[in-house]
Amino acid sequence: MRDVAVLGVGQTKFGELWDRSFREIGIEAGLQALVDAKLASENLGGLFLGNMASGGLLEQEHIAPLILDYAGLAGRHLPAVRIEGGGASGGLALHQGFLAVASGLYDYVVVGGAEKLTDVPDSTASQIVSSTADHEWEVVFGATLPSLWALVARRHMHLYGTTREQLAHVAVQAHEMGSKNPNAHFRNRVTVEQVLGAAPVAEPLGVFDCAPLSDGAAAVVLGPLEGARRHTDTPIQIRASEVACDTMALHHRRDVTANDATVAAARAAFSRARRSPKDVGVAEVHDGYSISALLAVEDLGFSEKGRAGPDFASGQFALGGRVSVNPSGGLKAQGRPFGAVGVAQVVELVRQLRGDAKERQAPATDLALAHDLGGTGATAVVHLLARAG
């Protein structure tokens, strides 16, 4: 299996991009990544595109060739494949791009993620979001994605004494980082009091416990590690790319306060890279809801089970803490354009590992982790990244 490196990154602003179309943002991110990788488009081998909702929201399936087409590349007749796995679509697309290069069948590929969620009424978009839970056994009975995560939060509070205040710290930290990120959907700081006083969405989760619906796109160029220095001074190697799944419905889980898919994907990734959670200096984890961030840091091995609340509240996951978690602002503040999230996480980590993250720069580290999640955790994707030696 060939070693694979990230050679270039690109990303649009995340937010309510009412003046920009799906195809436009998809192309912008991809072209940025190609330029960053100094890759002439004639050397491009294919596109792997993560997207969740274009069929339901834009009445447009079959979007991977569409993006290539509007990038002016249709005449090259390249392969283009769309991957969907709910909120994990971007991470899964990266996994597929990784396999493509690792196999040797492809040399240079763009992995993109793009989503346009704000061109329709929020109720329509929310319905699509909930279609990542089990339709027949959860959604038809009235469960929505936030309400399912609210059940997880209640259970975590019951078992481990996690408090609303601790959950609020996740949002406070996310907005703090968003304020330093020019691409972020939200750039305002918030206080614990504001988070606690916000309108409830599904108790105990309020508005600030839930990531927004965003438009946005992100892209990376992958290629063989060998020869990567022709494209960049700082090739970032993908040390592991692992996917794991779990039951679709929350009520079938062994323990709703643990995402076993995350545990399995992380274990496989650390084993493959011969590293441990202690080696990770910076991480982008799935914080679609404040409670999701707590589960993530526990299941990835950054906190003991049940300790994530106090650990977040005491700043252990702030910039420069034990692990710098979500320097981008995460889904909460940078935004949540579903299919783009998993790719944007890697864009941020590449910037961190290159030392290019400016105000958001975490202390130097040789291992970064990206964690993408679908639904209430039926799909988890973990990538480990490191500067090539």
Interface positions with a copy of itself (CB under 8 A): 1, 21, 23, 46, 52-53, 55-56, 58-62, 64-66, 68-69, 74, 77-86, 92, 95-96, 99-100, 102-105, 127-128, 131-136, 139, 241-249, 252, 260-261, 263-265, 374-375, 378-379
Nearer to a copy of itself, 93 or 313 (CB): 93
Nearer to a copy of itself, 132 or 257 (CB): 132
Taking the C-alpha atoms of residue 355 and residue 275, their distance in angstroms, rounded to an integer, is 22
Cβ at position 100, least distance to a copy of itself in Å: 5
Single-letter code of the amino acid located at 133:
A
Nearer to a copy of itself, 157 or 341 (CB): 341
Helix (H) or strand (E) holding 113: strand 109-115
Tokens of 104: 């040797």
Nearer to a copy of itself, 70 or 322 (CB): 70
Nearer to a copy of itself, 80 or 280 (CB): 80
Tokens of 139: 């959604």
Cβ at position 278, least distance to a copy of itself in Å: 23
Nearer to a copy of itself, 147 or 234 (CB): 147
Nearer to a copy of itself, 108 or 186 (CB): 108
Taking the C-alpha atoms of residue 27 and residue 74, their distance in angstroms, rounded to an integer, is 13
Non-local CB neighbours of 119 within 8 Å, separated by 6+ positions: 18, 57, 58, 215
Taking the C-alpha atoms of residue 134 and residue 228, their distance in angstroms, rounded to an integer, is 42
Tokens of 97: 């791009």
**What ranges in 136-259 are assigned the alpha helix state H?**
145-160, 164-178, 192-197
Taking the C-alpha atoms of residue 382 and residue 75, their distance in angstroms, rounded to an integer, is 35
CB atoms within 10 A of CB 172: 23
Phi then psi for residue 3, to 5 deg, are -70, 140
Nearer to a copy of itself, 53 or 218 (CB): 53
Q: Which residues pair with 205 in a beta bridge?
A: 202
Instruction: For Cα atoms 8, 91, 24, give the angle at the middle one, nearest 5 degrees.
Output: 60
Non-local CB neighbours of 154 within 8 Å, separated by 6+ positions: 204
Taking the C-alpha atoms of residue 62 and residue 80, their distance in angstroms, rounded to an integer, is 10
